[in-house]
Protein backbone atom coordinates (compact mmCIF):
# COMPACT_ATOMS: atom_id res chain seq x y z
CA UNK A 1 0.00 0.00 0.00
CA UNK A 2 2.82 2.40 0.64
CA UNK A 3 4.00 2.14 -2.97
CA UNK A 4 0.54 3.12 -4.24
CA UNK A 5 0.42 6.09 -1.86
CA UNK A 6 3.87 7.21 -2.97
CA UNK A 7 2.91 6.86 -6.65
CA UNK A 8 -0.31 8.75 -5.98
CA UNK A 9 1.58 11.53 -4.20
CA UNK A 10 4.09 11.72 -7.05
CA UNK A 11 1.30 11.93 -9.64
CA UNK A 12 -0.46 14.55 -7.56
CA UNK A 13 2.76 16.53 -7.09
CA UNK A 14 3.64 16.36 -10.81
CA UNK A 15 0.13 17.43 -11.82
CA UNK A 16 0.32 20.39 -9.41
CA UNK A 17 3.75 21.26 -10.79
CA UNK A 18 2.44 21.12 -14.39
CA UNK A 19 -0.56 23.25 -13.39
CA UNK A 20 1.70 25.85 -11.74
CA UNK A 21 3.98 25.93 -14.76
CA UNK A 22 1.02 26.41 -17.09
CA UNK A 23 -0.38 29.15 -14.85
CA UNK A 24 2.94 31.02 -14.84
CA UNK A 25 3.22 30.55 -18.61
CA UNK A 26 -0.32 31.85 -19.13
CA UNK A 27 0.37 34.88 -16.91
CA UNK A 28 3.50 35.62 -18.91
CA UNK A 29 1.55 35.46 -22.17
CA UNK A 30 -1.19 37.75 -20.83
CA UNK A 31 1.36 40.26 -19.55
CA UNK A 32 3.18 40.20 -22.88
CA UNK A 33 -0.05 40.75 -24.81
CA UNK A 34 -0.98 43.65 -22.51
CA UNK A 35 2.43 45.26 -23.02
CA UNK A 36 2.24 44.86 -26.78
CA UNK A 37 -1.30 46.25 -26.91
CA UNK A 38 -0.23 49.26 -24.86
CA UNK A 39 2.75 49.85 -27.17
CA UNK A 40 0.58 49.54 -30.28
CA UNK A 41 -1.92 52.04 -28.83
CA UNK A 42 0.85 54.56 -28.11
CA UNK A 43 2.30 54.12 -31.61
CA UNK A 44 -1.13 54.61 -33.21
CA UNK A 45 -1.63 57.82 -31.22
CA UNK A 46 1.81 59.02 -32.32
CA UNK A 47 0.96 58.13 -35.93
CA UNK A 48 -2.21 60.24 -35.73
CA UNK A 49 -0.24 63.22 -34.39
CA UNK A 50 2.45 62.83 -37.06
CA UNK A 51 -0.11 62.53 -39.86
CA UNK A 52 -1.76 65.73 -38.63
CA UNK A 53 1.61 67.48 -38.63
CA UNK A 54 2.31 66.18 -42.15
CA UNK A 55 -0.98 67.58 -43.42
CA UNK A 56 -0.28 70.93 -41.75
CA UNK A 57 3.18 71.10 -43.29
CA UNK A 58 1.80 70.15 -46.73
CA UNK A 59 -0.69 73.02 -46.48
CA UNK A 60 2.10 75.42 -45.48
CA UNK A 61 4.23 74.16 -48.35
CA UNK A 62 1.41 74.75 -50.83
CA UNK A 63 0.91 78.27 -49.50
CA UNK A 64 4.64 78.98 -49.74
CA UNK A 65 4.72 77.74 -53.34
CA UNK A 66 1.81 80.03 -54.23
CA UNK A 67 3.56 82.96 -52.55
CA UNK A 68 6.82 82.12 -54.30
CA UNK A 69 5.08 82.15 -57.66
CA UNK A 70 3.53 85.53 -56.85
CA UNK A 71 6.84 87.00 -55.66
CA UNK A 72 8.53 85.85 -58.86
CA UNK A 73 5.80 87.36 -61.04
CA UNK A 74 6.11 90.59 -63.00
CA UNK A 75 3.04 91.97 -61.21
CA UNK A 76 4.75 91.76 -57.82
CA UNK A 77 8.00 93.22 -59.12
CA UNK A 78 6.09 96.13 -60.67
CA UNK A 79 4.13 96.69 -57.45
CA UNK A 80 7.32 96.85 -55.36
CA UNK A 81 9.01 99.12 -57.91
CA UNK A 82 6.09 101.56 -57.86
CA UNK A 83 5.22 101.52 -54.15
CA UNK A 84 8.57 101.13 -52.43
CA UNK A 85 11.04 102.49 -54.96
CA UNK A 86 8.84 105.20 -56.52
CA UNK A 87 9.67 104.12 -60.07
CA UNK A 88 7.43 104.77 -63.07
CA UNK A 89 7.23 103.28 -66.54
CA UNK A 90 8.65 105.19 -69.47
CA UNK A 91 6.05 107.58 -70.85
CA UNK A 92 4.09 107.81 -67.61
CA UNK A 93 3.69 111.11 -65.80
CA UNK A 94 4.21 111.21 -62.06
CA UNK A 95 1.91 113.47 -60.08
CA UNK A 96 3.16 114.78 -56.77
CA UNK A 97 0.59 115.87 -54.20
CA UNK A 98 1.79 119.17 -52.77
CA UNK A 99 -1.22 119.84 -50.57
CA UNK A 100 0.30 118.06 -47.60
Is 95 part of any domain? no
Is 91 part of any domain? no
The arithmetic mean of pLDDT across residues 79-98, rounded, is 84
Cα separation, 2 vs 11, whole angstroms: 14
Is 47 part of any domain? yes
Q: What is the pLDDT of residue 21?
A: 96
Is 14 part of any domain? yes
Domain count, the chain: 1
Which residues constitute the domain of residue 30?
Answer: 2-83
Q: What is the pLDDT of residue 83?
A: 86
Is 77 part of any domain? yes
Q: What is the pLDDT of residue 100?
A: 65
Is 31 part of any domain? yes
Is 99 part of any domain? no
pLDDT band at residue 5 using 50, 70 and 90 as cut-offs: low
Amino acid sequence: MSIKKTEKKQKSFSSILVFCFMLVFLCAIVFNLYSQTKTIYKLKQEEIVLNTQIETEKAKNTELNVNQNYYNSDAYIEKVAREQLGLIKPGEIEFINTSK
